[in-house]
Amino acid sequence: MQTIIKKYSAVLKINWIQALEYRANALVGVVAIISGLFIEYQIWSLIFESQNLTNVNGFQFRELMIFIFLSIMVGQLKSSWHTSGEMIEGIRTGDINKFLIRPISYFWYHFMMFIGVNSLYYTVYSLLLFILLIIFPGLIFPAAINFIGFILALLISIFLSYSIYYIMICFAFWFGEVRAIVVAYNLTMLVLSGQYIPIRLFPESIIKFMEITPFIYLVDFPVSIATGRMPIGLWTINFIYSIAWCVIMWIIGILIYNRGIRQYEAYGS
Amino acid sequence: MYIKISNLTKSFKMFKRSAGLKGALKSFFSRQYTNFFALKKINLELKKGEIVGILGENGAGKTTLIKLMVGLLYPTEGDVVIDGYSPWKRDHEYLRNVTIVMGQKNQLWWDIPASESFLLNKHIYQIDDSIYKETLNELVDLLDVRDKLDVQVRRLSLGERMKMEIIAALLHRPSLVLLDEPTLGLDVISQSKIRDFVKYYNKKYNATFIITSHYTKDIQEMCERILVLHGGKQMYDGKFNELIKAINPERRLLFEFSIPPEESYIHNLKGKFKFELNDNILTAQLPESELKDLLSTLLNQFSAQSMSFEDLPVEETMKNFFQNPQDYL
């Protein structure tokens, strides 16, 4: 077990080293995070001011801002533009050969890579969360249990999101190029997971539909726990559902990979 | 037997389309697939510690065979068993004992120094600290790249990068090493260094090497045994020198007369043997037995100022062979 942890933490470490190699890229990434939050703030303050609103679907301005800020953060932490693009390219060009010839799991290697690539965001967002806690006391993590619940739900969201990406990526074994599917999924998820507009602002029928999909666990679930919008009584059942979705997606991914790898033609010399 | 390959066949499903927008549109709606056989019924047995070269033209199936042996491809038919393992099951125990270096594919992390990739491999292959340090030092010194360890891979020359690739591939001391075009694009010094290194590593660790190369010299210097593939078929499996003799049994004799021979002597000799005479030097390219007869005839009457036998250039011989391999075997 210790050697397995060492093996995969080495993958994580080399991704950090790689990320730090490009200082300008890292800096632009941080600026992009902050500017994204600023734009959201401007849009919603304009909406509230122009319409003279005091609340929207039970959200006061400050509450909505916190909910949206957290949603953007969680959405960013579970997104996989970089890793999924690299994995698809690897299958298409034969670059995954270098992983297949080593005693390492393709799934877990890239999961650690996914975490490694997003680590820069984890650091910046942790700092931002700390600042938000000071500026808006009581609106985030009303109790210590909310913080623990949020971290657990966030870990589930990251794993679930990666597992869904993994399924799409594995179709590259048959079709070669599947980036269009990933891009379409990413764009759809920006809305359906509640990353930019909270699902709670959607009509009831859409919320009901979303509740039977895994997508609700990607952003809305951890953010609702963090802001105290989900009663503690509902946590257990939602944790069970979210973990079940993780297992289902993980197994589907493994099955598709095992079929796909037989199709793989190890392109290039 | 360390490696046993039986009736190994690999086919790929392919489609063709004509060039241009019209061809692309037509192919978008309807594709006609055909089966392309990259390998047909290959049989091979290898003992541990052998160095075997695979020769063949482009598209002969050399790389496909190597990819099947490392488990990158599933066979269409037949079987490969290496040290008791089926490569395509990718058992981690098997992968810990095998390595592949592909001359045209980079396995190192491009943007960071090679030493970081080495450390990653240390953890992936679970190499002990002491063995890691010892092997790394040995390989770095042998390949003479110590001062390049902390340079980003993208800044290395092709030769330096290939040496780093080889180090990364051998850190875990694999017992089976598959080298696919390891000297491609390298200068003669780097090529020679890599050839010497292969021989050294094989001797020290009794590792089995399977090498493909377009440079016949690589194969000639490193491999006693060769497998020749042509259009996916196995054409020859045996000693390299015997193949060369079978393809071209002729050798060249250069005989410099100590005193100029008389014209009548040369005229008579030309009736029995085929040769050329320029500046007192007789050059003959004949099968070895005829060459011996010619030499004894010459030495009966003349002494030689200088004399030498030469093998014909191997590249030339192999080129002739690949143009029509059926004619020679």
What is the nearest CA distance from B284 to chain A, expressed in angstroms? 42
Listed by number, the residues of chain A in 203-222 with a beta carbon closer than 8 Å to a beta carbon of chain B are none
**Pairwise CB contact (< 8 Å): A101 & B100:** yes
Q: Which residues pair with B233 in a beta bridge?
A: B40, B230
Q: What is the mean pLDDT of residues A182-211?
A: 85
Mutate to test the interface with A, among B67, B118, B170 (most CBs of A within 10 A): B67
d(CA A22, CA A226): 33
pLDDT, residue A3, reads: 72
Q: What six digits make up the tokens of B219?
A: 């194969």
pLDDT, averaged across chain A: 86
Q: Is the pLDDT of residue B183 over 80?
A: yes
Q: Is the pLDDT of residue A21 over 70?
A: no
**Pairwise CB contact (< 8 Å): B119 & A102:** no
Using an 8 Å CB-CB cutoff, list chain B residues near A10: 119-120, 122-124
What number is the ipTM of this complex?
0.75
Give the residue among B138, B137, B112, B135 at the shortest CA–CA distance from B125. Answer: B135
Q: Give the amino acid at A60.
A: Q
Listed range (A91-100, A210-219, A229-238) with the worst mean pLDDT: A91-100
Cβ-based neighbours of A86, under 8 Å, separated by 6 or more? A113
Question: What is the pLDDT confidence band of residue A233, given thresholds at 50, 70 and 90?
Answer: very high
d(CA B176, CA B178): 7
Q: Are B51 and B202 in contact (CB under 8 A)?
A: yes
Name the H helices within chain B.
20-29, 62-70, 92-95, 114-124, 129-143, 158-170, 188-205, 216-222, 240-247, 263-272, 288-301, 314-323
Q: Is the dihedral of CA A231, A235, A237, A243 positive or negative?
A: positive
d(CA B176, CA B93): 13
Q: State how far the alpha carbon of A72 is from the alpha carbons of A22, A132, B80, in Å.
A: 24, 14, 51
Q: What is the mean pLDDT of residues B203-212?
A: 93
d(CA B180, CA B232): 16
Query: Given the DSSP bridges, would you call strands B225-230 and B304-311 parallel, antiparallel or unpaired?
Result: unpaired
Looking up tokens 């693009």, which residue turns up? A85
**Pairwise CB contact (< 8 Å): B12 & A265:** yes
Q: Is the pLDDT of residue B297 over 80?
A: yes
What is the nearest CA distance from A21 to chain B, expressed in angstroms? 7
Q: What are A17-22's contacts with CB under 8 Å, separation 24+?
A: A17/B112, A17/B116, A18/A116, A18/B109, A18/B111, A18/B112, A19/A116, A19/A117, A19/A119, A19/A120, A21/B111, A21/B112, A21/B152, A22/B111
